[in-house]
Each structure stands twice: as C-alpha cells, then as structure tokens.
C-alpha cells in the first residue's frame, strides 16, 4: 500500500508540505508524487538505506545519564525532507541577519557605554540580575564589536503560516553538523529528488566558518592556527566538535592540550613542543573556560585564557559574556533593540512574550497560566518549563508561586499551534510538529546557512523536538522553483 495523501490530516494547522488533504504545496508536488508511487517495500528500502548510512557514517549523539552501552545513539532521522520555498527564505535570512546584528550591538553596548539602558530601552535592573553578564568583560570590545560569532536561532511557524523566532542561542549552539550530515544521508537515499529539484547546497558552512575564524586572528599571518576546544568525548556534542574540526582542517583540542605562558599567549602541546594558537572556537561554557577567572575546579578549561584574550593575543568565538543576550527576558526586548540600534522594524517577529517583571504582563500570566507556556530565563534543552494546557492545577499553582518569587526569571508565551510536516511512521506518513534552527555567522559580514537543522517531534501530538528528549530531525531543503 502506498502513501495516500488524501488520508493525511492537515486541518486547523499549517503543514509545511501539504496545503489541504490530497493537495501538496507547489514546491512539494514532485516529492509527494514520487513518494506516492513507492510501494511499501520500496519505502522500507529507503528507510533501511538511511539507517545503514547513518550507522556506517557513525552519526551519533550522546545522551547523558544513560547506562553504558547506550550513550552513543544513532542519530534519529526521518527520511522525508522539509521543504521551504527559496523566495520565502530570502525574507527569513534577512530577518535573521538583522536580528543578530542588533544582538551583537546590544552585547557590545552592555559591556561598554550601556546607552540602551541610559535611553530607557532596556531596564537596568534586568541587567543587574542577569546570570550570564560577566563583569570581567566590562570595558572590552572584540574586533568589529562582534561577540556572538556563531548564533543558532530557533524558528517556528504557527497555524496561520507566520514564522516566528522562538529563541536565540548565543552561547555554544549545536546542531550544524547534523544539518550537514542529514544532507549527505539524503543524497544517498533520494538521489532522484536532487535531480528533480534545485536544492540550495549547505556544504559551504565549514569553509565559511573557517574563513570567519581565520579573519579573527590577532596575528595577521597567512595561516593562523585555529583550534576547536571541546570538553572531550563524553560531551553530548562531541560528534559535532570533531566533525567541524575535521571539516575545517583545524586541530581539535581539549583544555589539557593548551597552556597560557607568561607572555599571555596561548600555546598547544605538540610533538614539536609548544605551538602558538591564534583563534579558538570554544565549545565549552563560560563558567568552565578559565579556572583562573571562573569556576576554579574546572578541569575542562585553560588557566589564563581570559588574560590572553583580553591582551588581544588570542581570539575566542563566541566571545565570553555573549551569553548575556541568550536570556529569554532579553529575547522579549529584541524587536525594540532592532529598532533602537538599526532604526528598522524587525523583519521576523517574536512569539508574543509576556515579561513577568512587568506587573501588568505578570498579572495577565498569573490569571491565564493554563493557556500559556512559561519559561525560565536561562535554561536550555526544554528543561524547567511549564506547558500550561498540558499540565494540571497543581503544576499551575507551582509555577504561579515560582513566578511571584522571582518575576525577573520568567517569561510566558501563548501556546502556539506549531506547523507540521509529513513524517514516516512505519510505511505511512503522519503529521508531526517541527521547528528549524538556522545558523548565523557574524564576522565582517553576516552569513546564514541555507536552511538549517529541522528538528521534529517523533511522538504524535508532541511539540518536544530536542534530540535529548526523543526528537528526531529532517533534512531541510530550500528549493528554488522555476518561474512559470
């Protein structure tokens, strides 16, 4: 039995591929027709092919707190791609660039003049209570004023088809390697579609990342020494660290491979003795990066790294302290910040967000908590949240108390009906909710990946897309349609 698009339910929400029952969107017509023509046996063969590609390619991710033996799981991957029209993408790309530019200006402002606070655009007490504001970075400004060189912003679409930014990840966002690997798998599994469609390539990312990092080198030399600093093989994103280092031809180093000497320069231990390091793409959180300044018991970091960075002898991406903007309360101010710094209207809207530090907004949240999603300011990975409509009264009361006790730490958003895309369940397709994480590189120029990592909730009705909580992923195709 083949896939029957007529049985695919799309009512009351926006589906990425299917407009209404039995009717694919313009850009997904060819794909849907191709899939429709496949027999169950052929669909199974495609799945087996993708699983075996993932298996042999060793694409894994790590889940913490699991018993030994299952720590490295095969990357959960759905063979049906998610398609986006290139015309729509142009707009999204412009919106992301604008957003990240403003965020970088904001971070630079916070550590220096704090004009946004003086001009009343951003409340001073919010900054005072910010967990990720590093006083050690005050009065400092990295080259080009760029702090968050690599940003991963999460996008969602609601039932009307409107795209929103859900959050910005400015610390050590992961997922880009899976975006690249998903494409490799798809090329093995659905080569026919790559002939049929004009799919914009993503393979460029590692070289763009390399160029951006090389550009940051304090020593203006032909081949600066670039390294990727990882916490090690037990980190959940180690696969990605190794992958990016390999793709860039950079050294993958751990804290113990690096040393800061008396000259405030960073060196790595090599078979030739010490070798100077110019640029560090660090994938270790601020708090562990330098035991001299932060967590003194960190074994992951490098003693003296901040000293070397402030002396201008090494470049760090992302700059320490950029996490100050990776805060769900700051997020709520981004549209205003865009207007303030760039004098433009935000192209991509935020999900409507209620800031609990504001009395009126807080009261609204407390009264309507059963309809809202409540998020703590600085958690990631979907932890510590309340999903109002899916919780009971006890949970609602618990969060009311939490909000009253620490209003600054919470924001709330109305529950969106996320868009769906057809996802394989056995040999049939069913709608599953998804989001999208594009990656934005900021150097002298700003570059956005063509597409990004689409994460999909594999459980029916669920909106939890995090791979650590059972989510999967899809390849994301930005397709250029021929003008008719």
Partner 1 sequence: MLSRVANSLYWLARYLERAENTARLINVNSHLLLDLPTSVKLGWEPIVDILSFRDKFYETYDVADESSVIKFMVVDKEHPGSIVSSISSARENARTLKEIIPREAWEQINELYLFATENSADAFKRRTRYQYLSKIVLANQTITGLLAGTMTHDEAYSFLRIGRNLERADMTTRIIDVRSASLLPDVENESAAFRNIQWMGVLKSMTAYQMYRREVRVRINREDVLEFLLLESRFPRSLIHAIEEVERCISELPHNREAVDKTRILRTQLVNAKPAQLSQEKLHEFVDDMQAGLIEISDKVTETYF
Residues forming contacts to partner 1 in the complex (CB under 8 A) are 55-58, 233, 242-243, 245-246, 250-254, 256-257, 268-272
Q: Token digits for 468?
A: 């650590």
Q: Residue 49's CB: how many other CB atoms inside 10 A?
A: 15
Minimum distance of partner 1 from residue 220's CB (angstroms): 24
For residue 106, which of 410, 448, 336, 283 has the smallest C-alpha distance? Answer: 336
- Pick the closer one to partner 1 by CB: 160 or 270: 270
Minimum distance of partner 1 from residue 222's CB (angstroms): 19
- Pick the closer one to partner 1 by CB: 46 or 242: 242
- Pick the closer one to partner 1 by CB: 107 or 189: 189
- Pick the closer one to partner 1 by CB: 72 or 215: 72
Minimum distance of partner 1 from residue 274's CB (angstroms): 10
Minimum distance of partner 1 from residue 178's CB (angstroms): 15
Strand pairing category for 226-229 and 279-282: parallel
- Pick the closer one to partner 1 by CB: 215 or 257: 257
Minimum distance of partner 1 from residue 246's CB (angstroms): 3
HSE-CB at 258 with a 13 A cutoff on CA atoms is: 33
Task: Give CA–CA dist 78/119, Å, rounded.
Answer: 48
Q: What is the dihedral of CA 97, 98, 104, 110, to 10 degrees?
A: -160
Task: Give CA–CA dist 275/251, Å, rounded.
Answer: 12
Minimum distance of partner 1 from residue 297's CB (angstroms): 22
Task: Give CA–CA dist 414/371, Å, rounded.
Answer: 6
- Pick the closer one to partner 1 by CB: 251 or 264: 251
- Pick the closer one to partner 1 by CB: 147 or 238: 238
Q: Answer whether 104's CB lies under 8 Å from 445's CB.
A: no
Q: Answer whether 32's CB lies under 8 Å from 24's CB.
A: yes
> What is the secondary structure of 3-18 as a DSSP string?
--GGG---TTS-BSSE
Bridge partners (DSSP) listed for residue 100: none
SS3 string of 322-388?
HHHHCCHHHHHHHHHHHHHHHCCCCCCCECCCEECCCHHHHHHHHHCHHHEEEEECCCCCCCCCEEH
- Pick the closer one to partner 1 by CB: 50 or 450: 50
Minimum distance of partner 1 from residue 242's CB (angstroms): 4
Task: Give CA–CA dist 101/115, Å, rounded.
Answer: 16
Minimum distance of partner 1 from residue 53's CB (angstroms): 10
Bridge partners (DSSP) listed for residue 316: 280
């Amino acid at each position: 039995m083949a896939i029957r698009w007529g049985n695919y339910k799309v009512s009351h929400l926006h589906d990425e591929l299917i407009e209404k029952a039995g009717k694919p969107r313009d850009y997904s017509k060819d794909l849907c027709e191709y899939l429709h023509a496949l027999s169950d046996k052929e669909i199974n063969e495609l799945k087996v092919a993708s699983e075996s590609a993932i298996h042999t390619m060793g694409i894994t991710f790590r889940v913490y707190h699991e018993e030994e033996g299952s720590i490295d799981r095969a990357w959960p991957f759905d063979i049906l791609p998610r398609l986006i029209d290139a015309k729509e993408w142009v707009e999204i790309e412009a919106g992301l660039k604008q957003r990240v530019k403003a965020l970088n200006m904001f971070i630079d402002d916070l550590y220096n003049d704090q004009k946004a606070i003086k001009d009343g655009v951003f409340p001073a007490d919010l900054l005072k209570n910010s967990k990720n504001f590093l006083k050690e970075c005050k009065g400092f400004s990295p080259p080009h004023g760029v702090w968050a060189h690599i940003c991963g912003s999460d996008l969602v679409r609601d039932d009307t088809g409107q795209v929103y930014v859900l959050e910005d990840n400015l610390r050590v966002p992961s997922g880009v390697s899976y975006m690249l690997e998903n494409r490799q798998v798809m090329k093995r599994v659905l080569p026919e579609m790559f002939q049929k469609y004009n799919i914009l390539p993503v393979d460029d990312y590692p070289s763009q990342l390399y160029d951006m990092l090389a550009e940051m080198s304090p020593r203006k030399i032909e081949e600066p020494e670039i390294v990727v600093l990882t916490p090690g093989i037990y980190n959940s994103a180690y696969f990605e660290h190794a992958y990016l280092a390999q793709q860039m031809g950079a050294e993958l180093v751990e804290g113990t491979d690096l040393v800061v000497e008396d000259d405030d320069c960073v060196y790595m231990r090599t078979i030739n003795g010490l070798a100077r390091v110019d640029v560090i793409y660090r994938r270790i959180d601020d708090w562990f990066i330098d035991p001299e300044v932060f967590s003194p018991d960190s074994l992951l970091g490098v003693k003296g790294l901040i000293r070397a960075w402030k002396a201008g002898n090494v470049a760090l991406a992302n700059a320490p302290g950029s996490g100050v903007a990776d805060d769900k309360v700051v997020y709520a101010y981004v549209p205003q910040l865009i207007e303030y710094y760039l004098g433009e209207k935000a192209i991509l809207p935020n999900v409507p967000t209620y800031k609990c530090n504001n009395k009126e907004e807080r009261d609204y949240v407390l009264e309507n908590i059963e309809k809202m999603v409540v998020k703590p300011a600085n958690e990631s990975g979907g932890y510590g949240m309340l999903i109002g409509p899916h919780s009971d009264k006890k949970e609602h009361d618990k969060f009311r108390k939490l909000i009253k006790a620490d209003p600054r730490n919470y924001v709330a958003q109305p529950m969106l009906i996320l868009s769906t895309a057809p996802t394989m369940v056995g040999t049939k397709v069913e709608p599953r909710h998804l989001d999208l994480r594009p990656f934005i590189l900021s150097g002298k120029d700003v570059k956005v990946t063509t597409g990004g990592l689409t994460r999909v909730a594999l459980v029916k009705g669920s909106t939890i897309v995090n791979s650590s909580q059972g989510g999967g992923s899809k390849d994301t195709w930005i397709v250029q349609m021929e003008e008719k």
